[in-house]
Amino acid sequence: MTGSTGDTGPTGSNGATGSTGDTGPTGATGSTGDTGPTGATGPTGATGSTGDTGPTGATGPTGPTGDTGPTGATGPTGATGSTGDTGPTGATGPTGPTGDTGPTGTTGSTGATGSTAESPQSAFRAENNTTPQIIASTGTSITVMFPDEIFDLNSEYTPNSFVPTQTGVYYICASVGFVPTNGAIASSITMNIEVNAVRQVVSTNIFVPGLTVDNSNSISTILQLNVGDIVTVTFTLDNGDGSGGTILASGEFTSFSAARVPSP
């Protein structure tokens, strides 16, 4: 039979450590504890080397246009390019103001003298061979009628008037055969050559009582006429009793003619 255990003796010194045994299996991970407070940021470490550039990402949408910056200094002029095709002609602009007159150029040499053109011939004659012109009363100026045109070289005579178509000097003459109604008294007749109804030349004749032959009075002059002037012959009778008379219808007595003389 075993007796009772005696008292434990003193502990001896540690013996040498034995070799480490194999690691046992890892135990199950315990639950994560609460996160502790963030510690103070430590100093920034040295920058590492730059890594390779990644691929370029897709282009983002264009942003709004910024304000125009100040104009930079003008760069040097580049070489002149080749001339382009001529564009279409634009519409003509308004005429500008007339410039000052330039100095007169030197006079050129005189050209050869051209041929001298002759002015159209101008002459006519008209008569009264048709109807006697009755003078019913005295003291009134009338236009003498010359209804029968004998010739008219430049178409300048219209019934009873001459209208020149060229300026120049003209010889003009007229005559009137007249018989008073009362041949027993004195009669005075006055003939005028008028231009544009203004008297230019006057001729007066007195018929003596008792004469039984036809009486004629004539008038002539040279006048400077302009284109379009109207030349006529007027006649006035005066006698003591107011009786009239008759201008004869006879070309040898009653006629009107004119001709242009050589003139500039």
Structure confidence by residue, pLDDT tens digits, 212-257? 455 789 999 999 999 999 999 999 999 878 888 999 999 999 999 9
What distance in Å separates the CA atoms of residue 185 and residue 250, rounded to the nearest whole number?
A: 24
Residue 187 parent element (H or E): strand 187-195
Q: Cβ distance 122 to 260 under 8 Å?
A: yes
More confident residue, 28 or 192: 192
What distance in Å separates the CA atoms of residue 216 and residue 235, rounded to the nearest whole number?
A: 12
pLDDT of residue 191: 96
pLDDT of residue 100: 81
pLDDT of residue 111: 47
Alpha helices in the chain (DSSP H): none
Averaged over 60-87, what is the pLDDT?
Answer: 78
The chain-wide mean pLDDT, for the chain, equals 83
- Count other Cβ atoms within 10 Å, centred on residue 235: 22
pLDDT of residue 232: 98
Between the ranges 8-12, 14-18, 68-72, 218-222, where is the mean pLDDT highest? Answer: 218-222
Enumerate residues 6+ apart whose C-beta is below 8 A from 161: 230, 231, 232
Between the ranges 4-13, 64-73, 107-116, 155-164, where is the mean pLDDT highest? Answer: 155-164
- Single-letter code of the amino acid located at 169: V
**Beta-strand relationship, 148-152 and 142-143:** unpaired
pLDDT of residue 144: 97
Averaged over 201-214, what is the pLDDT?
Answer: 77
pLDDT of residue 146: 97
Cα separations in angstroms, 45 against 39, 41, 42, 48, 207: 17, 11, 9, 9, 157
What distance in Å separates the CA atoms of residue 232 and residue 141, rounded to the nearest whole number?
A: 12
Q: Tokens in use for 190?
A: 């006055």
At 206, the pLDDT band (50, 70, 90 cuts) reads confident
pLDDT of residue 115: 43
Q: Tokens in use for 79?
A: 């070489």
pLDDT of residue 241: 85
Nearest Cα neighbor of 125 from 262, 264, 254 is 254
What distance in Å separates the CA atoms of residue 145 and residue 134, rounded to the nearest whole number?
A: 11
More confident residue, 73 or 124: 124
Q: Cβ distance 177 to 216 under 8 Å?
A: yes
Which contacts qualify for 37-46: CB closer than 8 Å, 24 or more apart?
A: none
pLDDT higher than threshold 70 for residue 97: yes
SS3 assignment, position 139: coil
pLDDT higher than threshold 90 for residue 54: no
183 burial level (CB within 10 Å; 0-12, 13-18, 19+): middle
More confident residue, 24 or 256: 256
